[in-house]
Amino acid sequence: MPEIETASTLVAENTPVQEEYKYGFVSDVEVDEAPKGLNEDIIRFISEKKDEPEWMLELRLKAYRWWLTKKEPRWALVDYPEIDYQDIRYYSAPKKMSDRFKNEEGEMDPEVKRTFERLGIPVDEQQRLEGVAVDAVFDSVSVATTHTAMLDELGIICCPISEAVREHPALIQKYLGAVVPYTDNFFASLNAAVFTDGSFVYVPPGVRCPVELSTYFRINAVDTGQFERTLIIADKGAYVSYLEGCTAPMRDTNQLHAAVVELIALDDAQIKYATIQNWYAGDKEGRGGIYNFVTKRGHCKGRNSKISWTQVEAGAAITWKYPSCVLQGDGSTGEFYSVAVTNNRMQADTGTKMIHIGNHTKSTIVSKGISADQSRNTYRGLVQILPDAKNCRNYSICDSMLVGSECSANTVPYIEAENSSAVVEHEATTSKISEDQLFYIRSRGVDEESAINLVVNGFCKEVFKQLPMEFAIEATKLLEMKLEGSIG
């Protein structure tokens, strides 16, 4: 049953669901790390560790200097204490891996390997999954990549971004920062200065990547930020589907995760990007958890290109994330499918931006928010039709479901149209889980908990059906786990 095995990439085993965050363990790994704090020397240290060319260091320093002049954005509907950026470690790597790229025969640290095995992520080529190529990132470095031979054959480049900086400088120089420049926002420029690892994918013209590419991000070290950077380029007529999953140990202190993801689709290319985010979200009283401040943006650069974002946001103490599409090529399509579930004291301010520049561009937004306990869940999105974009079409639907009386659910869409041929429709509803539906299901002999799971699952179906089947099953389980005990 390869399908079911694949499913285990996100949730370790098919163990009975439990309220506790089961990925909350800490691995005892010898690490090679930078001292806490941020300054130009730290950035030089990171760059040196990554064995980067001079131009990359220059880019990092430029970003850092710009970052120094900026203030943290505070407009989102989330509250958190002041972040001390000097109290964060910007580089941490398992010791045995820190020279991975210098020493090809270097063995993987057995503890790191065990960590990924506990998480259900097979990092050995021998145990690799059918249909999914995995890149595993542990704190600041990529520790393993599978399926490399088959990808090589097709000319697909799928490697850690630090390797790409060295091996494919032309592509990196052309595209890194082309969609999210270092001047984009506070967290994006911080990322540009200190990013450590992430994935780089290039699919050559006309190639349809036959497997799902997947990255698994794991934060392990204490007081460490994770600043990953992902860049995916689909050349003319190419197709690629990419999945990412994330977890972190349970800790009482907050940890910062400020990632940047850039997607570029040339003529007729298609990129599907799915995230199942299950960072540690803090305990019931809101202690600890990951601050997930992420900038994700896709650029539909070519004609008839398509970028599709699917996200299941189930973790992190605070989520600040707006995966967006810049629809520049005529006839290009942007999609955003999102399920955001918050419980306990989680806060999520998430949504998308669809910027219509080209003619005949289309976008679809389907956002489902579920808030339970004392959490706060906000959809915030922008649909913008520029004056010269003819015959553009947008359809958005944003539904929120309330589970519990102390949570809040907000919907703040921004819609701006400057062209008379645009058709923009937006609908949103916020309501309690339907008593009638629950009653009907229970009248068929189903217990309350399962009835609720059925209704919630139906509520999210439009989004889950965008995911590969195995991942959809996992997402469903994740949701059930999150809502267990919140209802009633």
Partner 1 sequence: MSGSTTQTANVPDTVIGPFDELLFARLMEGGEPANLLAEREIAFRAYQALPSPTSFDEGWRRTPPDRFPFQDIVPLPRLAPNGATGSGPWDNEFDVVVSVNDATYHVADRSGVLRDKRIFVMPLEEAASVFPGLVHDHVLGRALPPDRDKFVALNGAFWNFGLLVHIPPGVTLEKGILIRYAHQQPGAALIPLLAVVAGEGSEATIVETATSPDGVPFMTVSSKEFYVGDAARLRVISLQEWGRDTDQLGHDMAHVGRDAQVDWITLNFGSRTSKLVFGSDILGEGASAELDGLFFCDADQHIDQQTLQIHSAPNTYSRLLYKGAVQDQGHSVYQGIIQARPGAVKVDAYQTNNNLVLNDGAKADTIPGLLIDADDLKCSHGATIGNLNDDQVFYLRSRGLDESEARRILIRAFFDEVSARIPYDGIRERVHAIIDARLAAAK
Binding residues (CB under 8 A) for partner 1: these are: 75, 385, 387-388, 400, 402-432
- Maximum CA extent, the chain: 68
What is the amino acid identity at position 8? S
Nearer to partner 1, 224 or 400 (CB): 400
**What is the Rg, in whole angstroms, of the alpha carbon atoms belonging to the chain?**
21
Question: Nearest approach, Cβ of 163 to partner 1 (angstroms)?
Answer: 42
How do 157-160 and 199-203 pair as beta strands?
Answer: antiparallel
Strand pairing partners for 333?
A: 306, 362
**Sequence-ordered list of residues with C-beta below 8 angstroms from that of 200, at least 6 positions apart, any chain:** 157, 158, 159, 160, 161, 163, 164, 168, 171, 172, 230, 231, 232
Nearer to partner 1, 19 or 427 (CB): 427
Nearer to partner 1, 9 or 411 (CB): 411
Question: Nearest approach, Cβ of 68 to partner 1 (angstroms)?
Answer: 20
SS3 (DSSP) at 64: helix
Nearer to partner 1, 423 or 469 (CB): 423
- Other Cβ atoms within 10 Å of 16 Cβ, number: 5
Question: Nearest approach, Cβ of 166 to partner 1 (angstroms)?
Answer: 42
What DSSP letter does each residue of 126-166 carry, written as one string? TTPPTTEEEEEEETTEEEEE--HHHHHHHT-EEEEHHHHHH
Nearer to partner 1, 145 or 486 (CB): 486
Q: Contact at 8 Å (CB) between 33 and 42?
A: no
* Distance from C-alpha of 228 to C-alpha of 193, rounded to nearest angstrom: 11
- Other Cβ atoms within 10 Å of 55 Cβ, number: 12
Question: Nearest approach, Cβ of 434 to partner 1 (angstroms)?
Answer: 10
What is the amino acid identity at position 421? S
Closest CA to 375 of 255, 295, 474, 483: 483
Pick left, alpha or beta for residue 166 (phi over 0 → left; psi -120 to 50 → alpha; otherwise beta). Answer: alpha
**Residue 325 φ then ψ, to 5°:** -130, 130
Question: Nearest approach, Cβ of 152 to partner 1 (angstroms)?
Answer: 48
Q: Contact at 8 Å (CB) between 249 and 280?
A: yes
Question: Nearest approach, Cβ of 402 to partner 1 (angstroms)?
Answer: 4
Question: Nearest approach, Cβ of 403 to partner 1 (angstroms)?
Answer: 7
Crossing angle between the packed helical segments 54-68 and 186-194, to the nearest 10 degrees: 150
**Sequence-ordered list of residues with C-beta below 8 angstroms from that of 150, at least 6 positions apart, any chain:** 133, 210, 211
* Distance from C-alpha of 297 to C-alpha of 333, rounded to nearest angstrom: 14
Question: Nearest approach, Cβ of 225 to partner 1 (angstroms)?
Answer: 28
Nearer to partner 1, 61 or 412 (CB): 412
* Distance from C-alpha of 228 to C-alpha of 434, rounded to nearest angstrom: 40
Closest CA to 368 of 270, 447, 246, 465: 465
Strand pairing partners for 254?
A: 289
Q: Contact at 8 Å (CB) between 328 and 300?
A: yes
Nearer to partner 1, 16 or 387 (CB): 387
Q: Contact at 8 Å (CB) between 441 and 454?
A: yes
What is the amino acid identity at position 174? K
Question: Nearest approach, Cβ of 294 to partner 1 (angstroms)?
Answer: 22
SS3 (DSSP) at 263: strand
Nearer to partner 1, 35 or 73 (CB): 73
Question: Nearest approach, Cβ of 297 to partner 1 (angstroms)?
Answer: 21
Question: Nearest approach, Cβ of 390 to partner 1 (angstroms)?
Answer: 8
Nearer to partner 1, 58 or 406 (CB): 406
Question: Nearest approach, Cβ of 69 to partner 1 (angstroms)?
Answer: 16
